[in-house]
Structure 1
């Protein structure tokens, strides 16, 4: 079988499935993306460079659309070259969000295209307007409506779609949902698992184990969409109540979602300026972005793992934390509530209630014995519903098999 994938940031959501397919004899896996140093054995990289960025004079409603067309055209040219070189895929799979899948079927009209639909934007009921400190503006309605042009064009170009959670799927219009399957990328629970003897040595030489009081917070970047400001404002009170606790914070200083921080500063700098005098920097450790192995070790020594998010896309780290047996304290927002049931397989708090967050952390650290059943049920939730090898990968393979063989997926 010939598989053609596209995602600007190789391998993106497709790491697990690409590794699986590339390891099977007889498969040829080609992946179109922008340049990065990542390599996967037996996967052929085809790198494209967008030929320009959106022009400053382009109307601000459609700057993202212009970029999507540029990305889509760049992938279109890469596909044309592959076709001229004699390559023909049996199926094409790609992320819709940046426009890369828009024109693939103009090269191979009769080859099925499975597109990843991550988020359909709404003015109400999701991320926009959720945070009162960032109120909706008159321009947001037209801007959001225009932003969904990429979703709409991408859906028209695809034979079928995939969304990672039921809540994200529910954001799409009815006519789209009818052709979108809900399949998460999955977690390899054979690797992402508890390790009672885990330990981690911090840059200052401190060594922590599961027997220590360790509070963990992880995000790709430290920003409001992932509740960083709420967590930081709660920290002074948490540290006073838990004088032995160590706090490990993982994430970069960039912005993945939402608005940039003002004055060119990072949200970490802004929050340290606001609450820095109330935290003990000997016990609060900003680790930046860490290797995956370090990330897993950090989860394995965690006593309480904090996951706060606007109603937005679900982070991989959330399910990975549950799979390692973390006591996850999450925000009572979608799609967290799709996975966590309060006091059954995790604890939930109001996103904005820093006092309640401090109470839950204090409770978790004061009564680790009471939390053990919750930890075990957290891992069981992931094993039963999101395990890579027994749940999500078989569903991915069945979906692709249906499309390749002209069947309507169930």
Structure 2
């Protein structure tokens, strides 16, 4: 088999499945991305030139689509260069979110296309109109509808698609879900587990160890989409109620999903200005982005881990926290509710209720022994439903095999799978 993987930030969601496929005898794997990425065994990683920026005169509804078209052209040029050298893939696995998948059908008409679809935008029921809650203006609704133009073109071109969670699948139109499988990329629970003796040395020289009252929060970007503002508003009360508590915040200042504050600066600066002297900064530690190994140490220390999100794509970090046997206090929003059952394998709070969040965190810190069964249940959930080696990787490899062979995937479409599995579709 010859396989071609495409992702702007390769390896992205293909980190495990691409080398696993490459390890099979007789399989050639080539990957294409804009950025350098991490080298993977057996995978030839090529790069395409960054596209031209969208023009300033372009209608604002179309700027993202125009950027996707430029990117799609760059990927098509790189693919044509491979074609001229004799490479003809049996299957193309592509994350088309930035436009990479737009023209691959035209380069290789005979190849099977399996695309990873992450999120379908609507003006109700998702991230738009959530914070602040309320009706969405027609101008925003029209803009959001146009955001799906790239995905709609790719859905028409691809043979099959997959997405990570049932709630994400539920966002797509019925006709699209009929050829969309639900397969998570997987959590390596053999590697991601509670460390025996974790520690973290803070910039001021203090060292945190397990048993300390450590509250953790993780986000690639410290931004409203991941509830950073609500978490910050809960901190003064947490620190007041728990005098020994220390707070560790992991993440960068640049937003990854939302916009920057209208008033300028970063969301961290905005929240620090809002809270002022109410926040004891000697006990709140912003450590920025950290290597994955250090992230596991942070989670291993956690006495209470906070994960808040808009109705949007579920973060890997929440599942990794659960695999680390953290007590996760999550927002009662659909992506989280698909995984966490309140009081069974985690705790749920209202996204917009910092007081409730503070009270729940304080309760967990006050009685750590009470939550030992919940910690175990959190890890069990991830092992049973999202484990890389026993479940997700075999499912992804099987999906690739089926699509490459022209078979209807064994996993079926997401509607079919949701209806037949015992826990049913998302609420």
Q: Scaled by the length of structure 2, what TM-score is found?
A: 0.94
After superposition, the CA RMSD in angstroms is 1.3
- The one-character-per-residue Cα deviations of 1:106-145 (angstroms, maximum 9, x if unpaired) are 1111111100111110101110010127973331111011
In the alignment, is residue 359 of structure 1 matched against residue 359 of structure 2? Answer: yes
Look up the match of 2:145.
145
Look up the match of 1:263.
263
Bigger mean CA deviation after superposition, 25-34 or 81-90? 25-34
- 1:43 deviates by 1.7
- 1:21 deviates by 2.3
- The one-character-per-residue Cα deviations of 1:39-83 (angstroms, maximum 9, x if unpaired) are 223321211113411000000001001011111111111111001
Secondary structure (helix, strand or coil) at the match of 1:329 reads strand
Look up the match of 1:20.
20
- The one-character-per-residue Cα deviations of 1:183-206 (angstroms, maximum 9, x if unpaired) are 011000000011232222222211
Q: How does 1:2-401 map to 2 (within 5 A)?
A: 2-132=2-132, 136-401=136-401
Secondary structure (helix, strand or coil) at the match of 1:13 reads helix
- The answer as to whether partners of 1:2 and 1:29 remain within 8 angstroms in 2 is yes
* Unpaired stretches in structure 2, ≥5 consecutive residues: 413-427
* Unpaired stretches in structure 1, ≥5 consecutive residues: none
- The one-character-per-residue Cα deviations of 1:290-327 (angstroms, maximum 9, x if unpaired) are 00000011001100000000000000101000001000
Look up the match of 2:419.
none
Quote the Cα distance in structure 2 between the aligned partners of 1:345 and 1:405: 39
Structure 1 pair 195/167, CA: closer, same or farther in 2 (3 Å)?
Answer: same
Bigger mean CA deviation after superposition, 13-22 or 63-72? 13-22
Quote the Cα distance in structure 1 between the aligned partners of 2:377 and 2:368: 14
Quote the Cα distance in structure 2 between the aligned partners of 1:394 and 1:94: 18
- 1:276 deviates by 3.3
Quote the Cα distance in structure 2 between the aligned partners of 1:153 and 1:42: 31
- 1:37 deviates by 4.9
Quote the Cα distance in structure 2 between the aligned partners of 1:244 and 1:69: 53
Quote the Cα distance in structure 1 between the aligned partners of 2:229 and 2:4: 40
Secondary structure (helix, strand or coil) at the match of 1:110 reads coil
- The answer as to whether partners of 1:308 and 1:331 remain within 8 angstroms in 2 is yes
Structure 1 pair 135/278, CA: closer, same or farther in 2 (3 Å)?
Answer: farther
Quote the Cα distance in structure 2 between the aligned partners of 1:196 and 1:280: 30
Quote the Cα distance in structure 2 between the aligned partners of 1:406 and 1:9: 28
Quote the Cα distance in structure 2 between the aligned partners of 1:133 and 1:395: 37
User: What stretches of structure 1 move > 4 A for 4+ residues in a row?
Assistant: none
Quote the Cα distance in structure 2 between the aligned partners of 1:264 and 1:16: 39
- The answer as to whether partners of 1:35 and 1:49 remain within 8 angstroms in 2 is no
Bigger mean CA deviation after superposition, 356-365 or 128-137? 128-137
